[in-house]
Amino acid sequence: MMETSEPAGAGALFGMAPEELRALAEALGLPRYRATQMADALYRQRVSGLEQMTTLPAEVRERLAAEGYAVGLPEMVQTARSVDGTERYLMRMADGETVETVWMPGGDGGERGDGSEAAEEEAGEVGDAEDAAEWKKGKYRGPLTRAYALAQDDGKDSDGDSGRARGAVQNDERKEGGYKRATICISSQVGCAVNCQFCLTAKLGVRRNLTAGEIAGQVAAVLNRQKVRIGSGKGVETPSRINLVFMGMGEPFLNYDALMKAVHLLRGMGIPESRMTVSTSGIEPSIRRFALEPVRPKLALSLNAPNDAIRREVMPVTKKWNIAALLEALGTIPFGKREYVTFEYVLLGGVNDQPEHAREVLDLLRGMKAKVNLIVWNPGPGIAYRQPKPEDVAVFHRMLVEGGVPTFTRRPRGRDIYAACGQLKRTVETEPLVEIASAP
CB closer to ligand SAH out of 287 and 421: 421
Looking at 206-214, 259-267, 324-332, 372-380, which segment touches ligand SAH (CB under 6 A)?
Answer: 372-380
Nearest approach, Cβ of 188 to ligand SF4 (angstroms)? 9
* Helix/strand/coil for 167: helix
Distance CA 57, CA 217 (A): 24
271: alpha, beta or left? (left if phi > 0; alpha if psi -120 to 50) = beta
Determine if 204 is a binding residue for ligand SF4 (CB under 6 A).
Answer: no
Nearest approach, Cβ of 159 to ligand SF4 (angstroms)? 26
Determine if 60 is a binding residue for ligand SF4 (CB under 6 A).
Answer: no
Distance CA 210, CA 422 (A): 18
Looking at 103-111, 195-203, 213-221, 257-265, which segment touches ligand SF4 (CB under 6 A)?
Answer: 195-203
Q: Active-site residue 75, yes or no?
A: no
In the window 276-295, what residues touch ligand SF4 (CB under 6 A)? 281
Q: Which of ligand SF4, ligand SAH, none does 202 bind, CB closer than 5 to 8 A by kind?
A: ligand SF4
Q: Active-site residue 421, yes or no?
A: yes
Task: Specify burial of residue 15 (Cβ count, 10 A radius: 0-12, 13-18, 19+).
Answer: buried
Find the binder of ligand SAH among 378, 387, 407, 409 (CB under 6 A).
Answer: 378
Find the binder of ligand SAH among 126, 150, 372, 421 (CB under 6 A).
Answer: 421
Q: Where are the beta strands (DSSP E) in 289-355?
A: 298-302, 341-347
Determine if 418 is a binding residue for ligand SAH (CB under 6 A).
Answer: no
Determine if 290 is a binding residue for ligand SAH (CB under 6 A).
Answer: no
Say which amino acid occupies 358: A
Structural contact between residues 253 and 302, judged by C-beta atoms closer than 8 angstroms: no
Q: Tell me how far CA of residue 322 lies from CA of 221, 255, 284, 286, 351, in angstroms.
A: 38, 21, 9, 14, 18
CB closer to ligand SF4 out of 209 and 281: 281
Distance CA 276, CA 204 (A): 26
- Active-site option among 6, 75, 87, 100: 100
Say which amino acid occupies 60: V
- Residue numbers annotated as active site: 100, 421
User: Which positions lie near ligand SAH, rule CB under 6 A?
Assistant: 198-199, 247, 251, 279-281, 302, 304, 344, 346, 375, 377-378, 380, 421-422
